[in-house]
Structure 1
Amino acid sequence: MMKKLNILFPFLLFFLMLPRIAPAAHYEMKKVSDSVYAAVALPAGKAGSNAMVIISDNHVILAGSHFVPEAVKELLAEVSQITSFPVKEVILTHHHSGYNYIDLDLPVNASIFTSWQTWQSLNSEYRRVKNPVTIFENALTLQRGQLSIVLSNTGKGHSAGDVVVYIPNEDVLFTSDLLFNGVVGYMGNGYMRDWVMNLEMLESLTAATVIPGVGSVTDSGGISAFLVFMREFLTEVLRHVEKGENLAQTKKGFSLPAYQQLPGYKTFFNVNIERAYGEFKSDQTNGKASGASAR
């Protein structure tokens, strides 16, 4: 018995000395094309939404939002397992005002690219942005080696200035939080009419690979499915508004049985209905045609 233990001990010691790789807590990395990885936010982690990782000829570009320090640290570690190139650029796709703990702890040497609306929102925080920032109005194309990275400011949608990222070379589209795939996400700062129109525009791109803001990687079919949900959600809210019901009555009578089992449906039930109800009531006050909102 002792002889067997003496033989096994060196092997046991070898395995104990191997470096232990901690399991991902916030993101699951998935390669989706030659140059692009999707960092899919794990439900139990601190990452609020997915991120896009683009490997260029000599550096890495991150795209996304809701970046918290813990998730950024893990994301950089995950990137280092993929490539030795440094993260030099970050495309910040949107920011919600009042959230000083997100989007301000990015790699210090990275340049930020964002829409002017997102910059206004980020710059309103009491914490200061330390990174160099490039702000654009409508669109911006980054040419990085053979990769064309097209940034589009979609204007009002999930936020006041959502940026979508498209790589035509590889037919990969990153929608940020304009798209939730198989889940219901936060819509509390959304502009519902504009959001629907933006989804229609994104659907028309028929991208082969679509990285949503929340949920698993999909294709243009995922955009179509979410567009159906948005129309049904808004139609149901509008039905109660047109009946003259107040917000409490609308919440009580609201019913979308086909979607109520989706992750996030109950979590964001109140805030999402409040946002849509407020927009439609404002439309009524301003005399807008009610039927156009959920076309």
Structure 2
Amino acid sequence: MAKAFASQGDLSEKKISFDKVGEGLYAFTAEGDPNTGVIIGDESVMIVEAQATPRLARKVIDCVRGVTDKPISHLVLTHYHAVRVLGASAYGAGEIIMSDAARAQVVERGQEDWDSEFARFPRLFQGHEEIPGLTWPTMTFSDAMTVYLGRRRVDILHPGRAHTAGDAVIWVPDQEVMFTGDIVEYHSACYCGDGHFADWGATLDTIAAFEPASIAPGRGDALVGAAKVTEAIENTRDFVYSTFRPAARVAARGGSLKEAWDAVRAECDPKFADYAIYEHCLPFNVARAYDEARGIDTPRIWTAQRDKEMWEALQG
């Protein structure tokens, strides 16, 4: 029997956790669904990642209101993907921050990505009628910027290409805590369909060089303590390399996309088959790995139609 397309068969509600990762720092997680970070300053709150809809964003806000009544002043979006950004209007933040590269991707492919992800994740887009449109930043940066929430310093930087070309991470130096977006995952498959495999490892090295005491990853549990942080970084590295290497070997000998699919499955299934959204991600990951190995530097735009065609070719 063919697998249900992407996450269309995943309709069960996930258990929400709201974990402290440092003083005034929290990770909103939900069993492999997209995570959101919370940074509480002296005067206001910064949110990291908006969720897919205002309805989901209000679940984050409910958790925030359980620990502080300070206003939400800033929203940082680590990249452009719809499941991360389309809930932005619920927060009422005065500033919405993205990297320059992430904003450029909204211009280039934001609507196509929304249409694509809407079909892939029906559960996450319940309440989509409230979404007012594409989410645009009020402020962008090239390499790095600093925001002060009162006395609390928050550094936002572009550490390199990985999950997308415009990835940002958020560093809170007084607690040595980092919010990594989807550059780092924990027991959840990395989505690599818009990724840059050859750069991802160096970007992970940049994150590791900060020696974070804790990390709030893009998906999966909050990572508290050096051992968990190292485990997650190295596991993410293994996932990315284990996806790219087999596909690159097939591409180098002129093999087909389907041969690359078989080679990646042989390498990755024994290690990662039980990870959240593994089967969902796999066709998109293999297609992008095969393209990059053949010299296509800029990921091709995913559309709802291309999604279905790729799924049928590989998972059908």
Question: TM-score, normalising length from structure 2?
Answer: 0.73
- The Cα offsets for residues 104-140 of structure 1, whole Å up to 9 and x where unpaired, read as 5342343111111222233555665687711111100
Structure 2 residue aligned with 1:143: 148
The offset of 1:147, in angstroms, is 1.6
Structure 1 residue aligned with 2:129: none
- The Cα offsets for residues 51-96 of structure 1, whole Å up to 9 and x where unpaired, read as 1101111211101254422111111111111111111110111113
Residue type of the partner of 2:96? I
Q: Which moved more, 1:193-202 or 1:65-74?
A: 65-74
1:129 and 1:273 map into 2 onto residues whose CA distance is 28
What aligned pairs does 1:124-273 form with structure 2 within 5 A after superposition? 125=110, 133-218=138-223, 219-254=229-264, 255-256=266-267, 257-273=270-286
Runs of 4+ displaced beyond 4 Å = 123-132
Q: Which has the higher helix share?
A: 2
Question: What is the SS of the residue equivalent to 2:89?
Answer: coil
Residue type of the partner of 1:179? V
Unaligned runs of 5+ in 1: 1-23, 285-295
Q: Which moved more, 1:270-279 or 1:140-149?
A: 140-149
Q: Which moved more, 1:236-245 or 1:128-137?
A: 128-137
Inter-CA distance 130–173: structure 2 relative to 1 (3 Å threshold): closer
2:50 and 2:85 map into 1 onto residues whose CA distance is 12
Residue type of the partner of 2:29? V
1:130 and 1:273 map into 2 onto residues whose CA distance is 29
Structure 1 residue aligned with 2:68: 83
The offset of 1:158, in angstroms, is 0.8
Unaligned runs of 5+ in 2: 1-12, 112-131, 224-228, 298-316
1:270 and 1:236 map into 2 onto residues whose CA distance is 14
The offset of 1:155, in angstroms, is 4.1
The number of residue pairs the alignment matches comes to 256
Pairing partner for 2:47 from 62, 77, 83: 62
Structure 1 residue aligned with 2:9: none
1:145 and 1:109 map into 2 onto residues whose CA distance is 16
Q: Which has the higher strand share?
A: 1
1:101 and 1:176 map into 2 onto residues whose CA distance is 12
Identical aligned residues as a percent: 23
Question: What is the SS of the residue equivalent to 1:272?
Answer: helix
**Larger relative contact order (CA 8 Å, sep ≥ 6):** 2
Question: What is the SS of the residue equivalent to 1:40?
Answer: strand
Structure 2 residue aligned with 1:111: 95
Alignment RMSD: 2.6
